[in-house]
Amino acid sequence: MKTPYDLLLFDLDGTLSDPLVGIGRSINYALSHFGYAELPLSRLAVHVGPPLDQAFSSITGLRSSSALDGFVAKYRERYGEIGYSENVLYPGIPEVLHSLASAGITLAVCTSKRVDYAENILELFGLRSYFSFVCGGEIGTQKWQQIRGLLEKRAVSQSTVMVGDRAVDMSAAHRNGLRAAGVLWGYGSREELEAEQPRYLFSTPQELLGLVD
């Protein structure tokens, strides 16, 4: 198998695994602590992917960074203990990663999630060995800035493909001159992804093998 790309850079939430239960319950844990009503998981799905401070700002209407930091800290209190494990792999992902890695394709992860949480999830599912590195995010850092940092360190290049399920993944790739591949089994709609004009748009994990020849 060959590929014109030097590296496939995967998002985590909504791309490799479905984290809604753990994220949703941890958001509600923080909301309840600060006196806000808990929300059904169906209403929290939209917050899978973007940074946590943006999620809490959208839900509560708060803009103060110190107030939002409190919500994030409370969220992490539960998420770090149990929420990260309330997570399921999308069917077919382990097999596709195995095929890509076995063919010598270099893989990595870039997620808005804190790196230790991302590492724990990949270890939980026995996937960590497939990835050459894991880039995690911090509050106040956008995904395009994460990719910019990887470019500066020469960990990725403009021959890298960013694979993700949300518009933020596509726009972060394009802003840095990378190719983008959208996936439709996560939390971004077809309309959301098509608006960003990714090079590829995949309906099933098996279609990811189309990135290699």
Q: How far is CA 131 from CA 2, 10, 108, 123, 127, in A?
A: 18, 9, 5, 11, 8
* Cα 64 from chain centroid (whole Å): 25
The answer to whether the beta carbons of residues 108 and 5 sit under 8 Å apart is: no
Q: Which candidate in 6, 11, 13, 116 is catalytic? A: 11
Q: What distance in Å separates the CA atoms of residue 202 and residue 24, rounded to the nearest whole number?
A: 26
Is 13 one of the catalytic residues? no
Q: What distance in Å separates the CA atoms of residue 8 and residue 200, rounded to the nearest whole number?
A: 13
Report, as residue numbers or ranges, the catalytic residues: 11
